[in-house]
């Protein structure tokens, strides 16, 4: 499975990773791994089972035995569709707290690598290029100004009919950035061989086209 190509897309919250990964995967006809959703599923399961965010042993046990599935409707936990539930900001915040625990990360490693299937995989998260797929054919580190990212989240929520406050979103997002960047275990940093792409002034379609052209250039250079 090490011959199967991988495009890794890492970056902070609301930089557009999920949207770009989906667009690139669709264009190439590849599989997709939303690794953040896996951390969110562990977070949601822990909240429902009242496991404390600091109880590492219980969280490792939970992560190792999680009954999860992905399909066109999104993520499923214990046979229930939780696509909307895992998108709540409280779940994202909890995910970023438990994602700082090295043993929880280790418990999820093999599960993530199983997504690497023919003809290829587009994986998005924080450590796709650094830890999970260190030999990925292309690594993109997608960034955008915090204000632009807060506005993206705001518009996403508004489109779903959910009311939100821009200042609160900006504050939550900066808190989560600090936690993800500052942790010891798989911190949010670009891989040494990643291409950093600033999407602050780009549309999602432009970013998708840019990633596809980077990948094609990579392939052309390799033959």
Indicate the pairing of strand 74-77 with strand 80-81: antiparallel
Q: Is 182 marked within a binding site?
A: no
Q: Is 46 in the site for ligand CDP (CB under 6 A)?
A: no
DSSP lists the bridge partners of residue 138 as 7
3-state class (DSSP) for residue 8: strand
Q: Is 152 in the site for ligand CDP (CB under 6 A)?
A: yes
3-state class (DSSP) for residue 109: helix
Instruction: Identify which of residues 39 and 215 has a Cβ nearer to ligand CDP in the complex.
Output: 39
Tell me if 131 sits within 8 A of 186, measured CB to CB. Answer: yes
C-alpha span between 31 and 164 (Å, rounded): 32
| Residue 69: other Cβ atoms inside 10 A | 13
User: Residues 117-136 vs ligand CDP: string with x where CB under 6 A?
Assistant: --------xxx---------
Q: Is 208 in the site for ligand CDP (CB under 6 A)?
A: no
Residues of the binding site for ATP = 11-19
Residues of the binding site = 11-19
- What residue ranges bind ligand CDP (CB under 6 A)? 11, 13-19, 35-37, 39-40, 92, 95-96, 99, 125-127, 152, 156, 176, 180, 199, 202-204, 207
């Amino acid at each position: 499975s090490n011959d199967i190509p991988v495009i890794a897309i890492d970056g902070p919250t609301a930089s557009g990773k999920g949207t770009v990964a989906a667009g690139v995967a669709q264009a190439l006809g590849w599989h997709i791994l939303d690794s953040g959703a896996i951390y969110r599923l562990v977070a949601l399961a822990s909240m429902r089972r009242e496991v404390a965010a600091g109880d590492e042993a219980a969280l490792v046990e939970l992560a190792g035995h999680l009954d999860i599935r992905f399909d066109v409707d999104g993520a499923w936990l214990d046979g229930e569709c939780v696509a909307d539930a895992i998108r709540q900001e409280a779940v994202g915040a909890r995910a970023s707290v438990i994602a700082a625990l090295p043993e929880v990360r280790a418990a999820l490693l093999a599960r993530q690598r199983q997504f690497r299937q023919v003809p290829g995989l587009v994986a998005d998260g924080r450590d796709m290029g650094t830890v999970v797929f260190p030999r990925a054919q292309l690594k993109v580190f997608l960034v955008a100004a915090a204000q632009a990212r807060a506005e993206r989240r705001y518009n996403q929520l508004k489109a779903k009919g959910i009311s939100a406050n821009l200042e609160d979103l900006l504050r939550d997002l900066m808190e989560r950035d600090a936690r993800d960047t500052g942790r010891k275990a798989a911190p949010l940093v670009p891989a040494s061989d990643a291409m950093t792409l600033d999407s602050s002034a780009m549309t999602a379609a432009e970013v998708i086209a840019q990633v596809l052209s980077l990948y094609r250039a990579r392939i052309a250079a390799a033959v």
